Structure 1
C-alpha cells in the first residue's frame, strides 16, 4: 500500500476561507507544523471583511499564496478557483480543506503512504472523539431512503481505533480530501454553481463513477475546531441551498426513475407540512429550489 514517490510528489494545500480569521490562523499554524511540508499552500479568501488579510499577511508559512476574490464565491466556487490554480501550476496532488480543521503533524505523511487517487483524512473533535461524516453508504438507488447518506464513518465505527487502516467511502467533505492530478484531468473541477453544500458530494460521485475509488485513511488525523451543526434553518437562505443541491444530486445521479422523482415528492411533502414547520418561507424555498435544481440537471463539462 505504500507509495515509493511520496517525497518527490509536489503537493499543494488548497484552503477556502471566509470571515473566520482566528480559525484560519490556527489552521495555518497546523500546516506549518506538518512533518512533511506541502510544496505550496493556496488560500482562497472569499472577500472576507474581518481581519483575514492581516492574518495572511503576518503568516510566515512557506509557500503560502493568497488568492483574493472580489466576491464571495461560496465554498464551491472557492475550491474550484483554488484547485484550478494548483492544477495549472503543475502540482501532482491537491489537498483540499476548510479553515476550521487543524491537521496532526503526521497527517500528510500518513495520507501519502497510501496508494490511490482519492484519499480522505479522518476528522475527530478536540476531545479526540471520531466525528468523520463521510458516507460509507450513499444510497441513490432506493427511493424510500429519505436521506441518501444511510451510514457514515462515525455511525459505523465507535472510535478511530475500531476502524481498519483504510475505509472505502462514497462521499467526502472538502475537509482533508486529497486528489491526485489524474482525477482533475479526468473529471475536471468542482461545480461552482452549488455555491455551498453538496459540491463535495457531487465531486466524489463524479470521481467514483470515473473509476477512482475513495478511501478514508484512519491514521491521517484532522482535528475539527467547531462542533458539527447540520440542522440549518430550512426557511432561511441556507435552507434554499440545502434543498436545491440535494435535489440536484438526485436529478443528476439517481440510479432509477423513482429516485430521480424524489425531489418532486419531497417538495410536495414540505409544502403540505409547511404550516407545521417553517411556514411560507420554507415552502417558498423548496419550490424555488426544485425549479432551480431542474436547471442544473446536467453535470458540468470537463
Structure 2
C-alpha cells in the first residue's frame, strides 16, 4: 500500500441519499483514505444528518453558510486538504461510488494527475473526459472533439492508461506538487468548466493527465448535460465556455470565437430559447471578458 497520505475531497449540495451511498463506497475501499473532507454547500435537505451519523473514519464535514457552487466547494476542500499537508487529494462528486479497489489502482499508476474511469449502473462506459480538447481550430464548434466513451466501446477495450486533455472532478486524483505549481481550482466559475480550467493549467505546467482503466467509479445518475440554455445554468455554461476560450485559446481566432457564438445564438434565439437565451449569452460574454485573467498560481 502507498505510504502517501491521501485525502478525499467531496462536494455535495442537496443530494443526501446519493452522498450516503458514496460515503458507504468510500468505507468499502480496500485502501482506506487517511481523511475525507466533505464540503456541504449549504444544503437544505438532510445532508447534515447523513454526515453526523456517518461512521466513516477520518470524516470531516465542512458546512458552508452559502452555496459556493462546485467550483467554490472544490477550491475550499482542496485548500483545506493541502493546508493540512496531505500528499494526494482525490476529488469526488456525491453521485459516484468507487469500486473497492479504485484508490489502490490509482495509487499504483504513475503520474501526478490521474482519473478513475466512470461506468453507469449497467456497466456501460460513460467516461466523458476528452482525449482531444481543441483550442487551436476556430472552426471546432465544441472544443471537445473526442472523449473516452466516444473512442472505446467498453472499458475493457481501453489501454491500461489513456492520456486525456480534460477531466471531471469525479474521481480526479492530484498530487501535492501540482497544487504547489498551479494553485487551486478557480472558484469564480461557480459551476461548469472549473475542472477543465484546472486540467488545462496542469497540462501546460508539464503534468500529463492519465485515465486509469482499472480504477472504476460507478455513476449513480444518468449523464444528461443538455441543460436549458435559457435557464440559469445556461448562463454559466456559456460564460465559462467563453472564459476557457479567452484564457487558453491558442490563437486570436479561437479567442474571438465567443463573439461569433454569441452572435449566432442571438440571431437564432427566436427559434431556440427566445429572449432568455439571448440575454444569457450576451451577459455571459460581458462577464467572461472580466474573467480573462488567470487565477493565482499559488495555493495560498
The counterpart of 1:142, out of the listed 137, 145, 154, is 137
Q: Identify which of 109, 112, 116 aligns with 2:107.
A: 112
Q: Paired residue for 1:256?
A: 251
Mapped pair 1:76 → 2:71: yes
The Cα shift of 1:299 comes to 1.0
Q: Could you tell me how far apart the structure 1 residues matched to 2:114 and 2:167 are?
A: 9
1:47 alignment partner, SS class = coil
Once the two structures are TM-superposed, the CA of residue 301 in structure 1 deviates from its matched residue by 1.3
Cα distance in structure 1, aligned partners of 2:277 and 2:152: 35
* Distance in 1, Cα, partners of 2:177 & 2:268: 46
Identify the residue that residue 4 of structure 2 maps to in structure 1.
9
Match of 2:238 in 1: 243
Aligned: 1:211 with 2:206: yes
SS of the counterpart of 1:120?
strand
Question: Separation in 1 of the partners of 2:60 and 2:162?
Answer: 33
Gaps of 5+ in 2: none
1:231 is aligned to 226
CA drift at 1:90: 0.4
Mapped pair 1:183 → 2:175: no
Give per-residue Cα distances to partners, 1:216-238, cap 9 Å, x unaligned: 00000000000011100000000
Q: So what's the TM-score if we normalise by structure 1?
A: 0.98
Match of 1:152 in 2: 147
Please list every run of 5 or more consecutive structure 1 residues that lacks an aligned counterpart in the other structure: 1-5
Tell me the TM-score normalized by structure 2: 0.99
Tell me by how many angstroms 1:102 deviates.
Answer: 0.1
Deviation at 1:7, TM superposition (A): 2.2
